[in-house]
Amino acid sequence: MMSLAVIDIGTNSTRLLIGELNEDSIMKRRECFTRSTRIGRDLSKRGYLCPVGTVKTLAALKEYKCIIEDRGIKNFVIVGTNALREARNSSDFIDEVKGVMGFKVVILSAEEEAGLSAMGALISLCSNPRHTTALFVDIGGGSTEIALWKEDKTKKNISLPLGAVRCFEGSYSREKIKKILLESLKHFSVEKGTLMVGAGGTITSLAAVHKGLDPYDPDEVHGTLLLKDGIKEIGSYLSGLSLEKRKGVAGLEENRSDIILPGIMILLEIMEWFAIDEITASDRDLLDGLALSYGSKKSSFFS
């Protein structure tokens, strides 16, 4: 059994997964940590990483470094996604991270992010992923990754400039989201009846609210089936609450109360586009995909 750690610096949060891989490259989660850091705040307007978010992210990384060292873990990686792909000052931030952690952040391409996220979600949900066809959706803070999974790998993937934080800060209308989908997905189609699986904070929060989970329980969320009509009902309920009252809803993390409605709008428009009426929520995602990739391929992402 080999222990490993994976850190993801996202637009809205910085996360750590500690897991164990056995000889058959089957990964078991041991611990997960999430810190709300929002390094991508106002990125679409400013073009730079948020200074406050940068400080919060570095503090989270220092905390995670202590945890990793305390557990005696030697195999670990730090990856960055949309915010670090887009920001003009990413290289300066990466240098700061290297000073804290001892090595550089790997910035994943949109294609790598989509493929690894789909792998992490689907391998844990499907009894036989080699014979599963699924449409995977990961709604992040700055972007949304969509991947078609078939025959144990991604056949097609795309990154959309739609994220819960981006749409909240830009006050995106439903019409604007539809326009982006039309421009981005006009050549992306799936067969009728294709399984849809979703990851990311919007979708896992919907599952937690649907089940009234307080505190959040990843195992209860994982595999939850959400119907489109049910998602609409939750969205309607949340939109009728003030921000302060939204913070008290069971299953909805306080730091997501401001961005949950744009996230729901993105999800519903994607479901409408593909004419899919239900989605299975996955609490496993990019972090798990990276860990599995290391176990099966000895990925160069790891030090």
Q: Which residues, in sequence order, are CB contacts of 153 under 8 Å at separation 6+? A: 115
Distance CA 210, CA 233 (A): 10
CA–CA separation, 113 vs 84, rounded Å? 12
What residue spans of the chain are helical by DSSP H?
43-46, 51-71, 82-86, 90-101, 110-125, 164-169, 174-185, 201-211, 218-221, 228-239, 243-246, 260-274, 286-297
Express each pLDDT in 246-274 by its tens digit.
Answer: 999 999 999 899 999 999 999 999 999 99
50-79: per-residue pLDDT in tens?
999 999 999 999 999 999 999 999 988 999
Q: Which residue has the higher pLDDT, 266 or 302?
A: 266
Helix, strand, or coil (residue 39): coil
Contact 77, 290 (CB under 8 A): yes
**What are the domain boundaries of the chain?**
2-109, 111-281
- Cα–Cα distance between 141 and 293 in angstroms, integer? 24
In angstroms, the CA 85 to CA 242 distance is 34
- Dist. CA 268–CA 33, nearest whole Å: 28
Nearest by Cα to 200 from 125, 263, 107, 293: 263
State the pLDDT at residue 301: 53
Please, what's the b/e burial string for 71-91 (b: 16 or more CB within 10 A of its CB; e: otherwise)?
Answer: eebeebbbbbbbbbbbbeebe
127-172 tens-digit pLDDT: 555 557 899 999 999 999 999 988 767 778 889 999 999 999 999 9
Residue 1's pLDDT band, with cuts at 50, 70 and 90, is confident
Cα–Cα distance for residue pair 223/197, rounded to 1 Å:
9
Element (H, E) at 12: none
What is the predicted pLDDT for the residue at 43? 93
144-150 and 225-227 as β-strands: parallel, antiparallel, unpaired?
A: unpaired
d(CA 84, CA 91): 9
pLDDT for 296 equals 64
Q: How confident is the model at residue 25, as a pLDDT?
A: 66
Q: Pull the structure tokens for residue 298.
A: 């000895």
- The fold adopted by the segment(s) 111-281 is Nucleotidyltransferase; domain 5 (3.30.420)
Rounded Cα distance between 42 and 60, Å, is 20
Using a 10 angstrom Cβ sphere, with 0-12 exposed, 13-18 middle and 19 or more buried, the burial of residue 260 is buried
Tell me if domain 2-109 and domain 111-281 are identical in fold. Answer: yes
Place of tokens 């000889």: 23
The single residue listed with the structure tokens 């804290």 is: 100
Spelled out in words, what is the top-level CATH class assigned to the domain 2-109? Answer: alpha beta
DSSP string, 61-91: HHHHHHHHHHHT--EEEEEE-HHHHH-TTHH
Name the token pair of 216: 């959040």
- Is the whole-model pTM more than 0.85? yes
pLDDT at 298: 47
Taking alpha carbons only, the member of 28, 27, 26, 35 closest to residue 7 is 35
